[in-house]
Structure 1
Amino acid sequence: MYDIKALYEAGSIREAVELRLAHPEADIIAGGSDVLVQMREGKRAGKELISIYMIDEMRGIRLDENEAIRIGSLTSFSHITKHELIQKHINVLGEAVDMIGGPQVRNIGTIGGNTCNGVTSADSASTLHAWEAIIELTGPEGVRRIPIKEFYLKAGVVDIRAGEIQTAIIIPKESYAGCKGHYIKYAMRNAMDIATTGCSVNVKLSEDKKTILKVRIAYGVAGPVPMRCPAAEVKANGQPVCSETVKAFAAGVLEDINPRDSWRASKAFRQHIAVELAERCLIEAIRLSGGEI
């Protein structure tokens, strides 16, 4: 059933990097919620695996010296949802990852695995794009940090170089301070299904709650990789909090997204849903921020 060539277990980040260099064709296994299923299906027959699951320094959530929220890549979805820093500052991320699979998957699955898969349907990815997350990678040359939008290269491919492992995801203070957000996953079976489309929106309102100072929107399954919608954001930034702004914002997403036809949904249906989700997410983000439509 599990026809693998070898399994190596790293006890530290340094050891993981050394194993990656020594076995460049090996696959990384963290929580294993995807890898183990694929192994049962025979898709990884003859592969070498490097387990990083025992590296405790890659777990946990904390504020760094710049008050950025640092999420270790081995932090489980359940831990993210329940953590006080997430609930206080970016509760929408906890809500998004709480829509992944069932309780067993959320207890073992990791935020690093969810992003390193490179799939556009990952429930964490659109919210991390909307909050301008920074991906931290550690390799033989040291630590490298890149914006999440540069991390996703194409469908199923991310920018992880020889010997590197993803060690953390960082949300800068300027990305979360004063902002509230909302995420909607559209799927046939909600948590127990892959998203047909996922939309994440966050806003920062003026002190009197009458003006949108900043809005960010990102999608999953609206293109080959998770993506922001700058055309929609331009239509709402600096605009009054009103239904006309919401409508213009939602319509603007069609200038950016490029969903495909598939057996799950047609391109036209995904475009229709994307506009509806943008409207609903913005209205709820405004409400959470103390504004009214």
Structure 2
Amino acid sequence: MYDINEILEPKTLEEALEMLSVRDNLTVIAGGTDVLVKLREEILNSLNLISIRNIDGLNKIKILKDGSIEIGAMTTFAEIFRNEIINKNISILSQAAVSMGGPQIRNMATIGGNICNGAVSGDSAPTLFSLNSKLKLKSKTDERIVKIKDFYKGPGEVNIKKDELLISIIIEKKDYENKYGTYIKFANRNAMDIALMGVAVLVEVKNKKFKDLRIALGVAGPTPIRCEIAESKGKHMDITDENMKLIGNLALKSSKAIDFWNASKEFKENLIEELTYRALEESVERAENHGNIK
């Protein structure tokens, strides 16, 4: 059923990076929910796998000294939506996590694997884009920080080298403090299906205006997208129903939706406009409930 040549199981990060440094034919497997499906469907074949499942410390969630939140790449989606730090500070990511597959998938699938898969339908991507997330990548000889918007290069293609591992995701304090958001996934079977459209909205409000506004889309182009035109024009707008509908319409200017087997371009654009409006409504309501509209 699965065309696997070998599975290496390093116990430490150093051991894993050493293996990757001397062999260029290894495919990293984290939770396995993407790789094993591709193997079964014969999208991938004859693989030499390196499992990083048993490496200690890659599933930690912590607040750093500067207030940044660091999420280990091997953290599962179940661990994310149950985590106190996430729910208190970046609940939008918890919303995305709980929309990912069913309970069995969430218990296995990791946020790092979801990112490195490079799929625009990944539920974590729009939310992490809205949070201006940064990715820590490490090899045996080097470590680098990459902005998530620079990580996605095309459908299923990401900016990671053969000898590197994604270690963690970092969200700076300025990118989550006093901000409230909503992730909405539209799918044929809700959480049990991949996203037909994913919209993440993050707002900061002051004096009944949008002090900060971020809108990110999944499945609206070859990579996840930030709606920069809508963000720029929407920032400092009065928070009214009319303006939120206008911002939803402006989000279309950044979309690169196309006709596909699962939905037409027109249908996807209708989703973008409507879901952005709904996410704005819910995000403003969350801010209001926390006493952040004055």
TM-score bucket of the superposed structures, by smaller chain: over 0.9
Amino acid at match of 2:97: V
3-state secondary structure, aligned to 2:115: helix
Q: Which one of the candidate residues 260, 266, 282 is aligned to 2:264?
A: 266
Match of 2:60 in 1: 60
Match of 2:117 in 1: 117
What percentage of residue pairs aligned between the two structures are identical?
40
Match of 1:199 in 2: 199
Amino acid at match of 1:232: A
- Give me the whole-angstrom Cα distance separating, in 2, the residues matched to 1:90 and 1:169: 13
Q: Is the 8 A contact 1:4 1:44 kept in 2?
A: no
- Give me the whole-angstrom Cα distance separating, in 2, the residues matched to 1:161 and 1:29: 15
3-state secondary structure, aligned to 1:45: coil
Match of 1:217 in 2: 215
3-state secondary structure, aligned to 1:178: coil
Match of 1:11 in 2: 11
- Give me the whole-angstrom Cα distance separating, in 2, the residues matched to 1:49 and 1:42: 15
- Give me the whole-angstrom Cα distance separating, in 2, the residues matched to 1:99 and 1:135: 22
State the shift of 1:82 in Å: 0.5
Q: Is the 8 A contact 1:198 1:221 kept in 2?
A: yes
Higher mean alpha-carbon deviation, 93-102 vs 111-120, is at 93-102
Q: Is the 8 A contact 1:201 1:216 kept in 2?
A: yes
Q: Which one of the candidate residues 274, 277, 285 is aligned to 2:275?
A: 277
- Give me the whole-angstrom Cα distance separating, in 2, the residues matched to 1:140 and 1:128: 26
3-state secondary structure, aligned to 1:219: strand
Match of 2:245 in 1: 247
CA deviations 1:166-200 (Å, max 9, x no partner) are: 00001110000000000110111001111111000
State the shift of 1:100 in Å: 1.0
3-state secondary structure, aligned to 1:146: strand
Amino acid at match of 2:218: G
Match of 1:47 in 2: 47
- Give me the whole-angstrom Cα distance separating, in 2, the residues matched to 1:45 and 1:58: 27
Higher mean alpha-carbon deviation, 186-195 vs 7-16, is at 7-16
Match of 2:92 in 1: 92
3-state secondary structure, aligned to 2:4: coil
Amino acid at match of 2:236: G
Q: Is the 8 A contact 1:235 1:248 kept in 2?
A: no
Q: Is the 8 A contact 2:10 2:50 kept in 1?
A: yes
Amino acid at match of 2:112: G
Asked if 1:77 corresponds to 2:77, the answer is yes
Residue correspondences, number: 290
3-state secondary structure, aligned to 1:161: coil
Match of 1:187 in 2: 187
Asked if 1:226 corresponds to 2:241, the answer is no
State the shift of 1:258 in Å: 0.5
- Give me the whole-angstrom Cα distance separating, in 2, the residues matched to 1:251 and 1:220: 16
Q: Which ranges of structure 1 fall in alignment gaps of 5 or more residues?
A: none
Match of 2:165 in 1: 165
Query: What aligned pairs does 1:116-155 form with structure 2 within 5 A after superposition?
Result: 116-155=116-155
3-state secondary structure, aligned to 1:174: helix
- Give me the whole-angstrom Cα distance separating, in 1, the residues matched to 2:43 and 2:200: 32
Q: Which ranges of structure 2 fall in alignment gaps of 5 or more residues?
A: none
State the shift of 1:234 in Å: 1.1
3-state secondary structure, aligned to 2:57: helix
State the shift of 1:240 in Å: 1.0
3-state secondary structure, aligned to 1:94: helix
3-state secondary structure, aligned to 1:7: strand
RMSD between superposed Cα atoms in Å: 1.3
State the shift of 1:231 in Å: 0.4
- Give me the whole-angstrom Cα distance separating, in 2, the residues matched to 1:188 and 1:66: 41
CA deviations 1:217-257 (Å, max 9, x no partner) are: 00000000111000010121011111232122111111111
State the shift of 1:20 in Å: 1.4
State the shift of 1:10 in Å: 1.6
Q: Which one of the candidate residues 233, 236, 244 is aligned to 2:234?
A: 236
Asked if 1:20 corresponds to 2:27, the answer is no
TM superposition score normalised by structure 1: 0.96
- Give me the whole-angstrom Cα distance separating, in 2, the residues matched to 1:187 and 1:7: 34
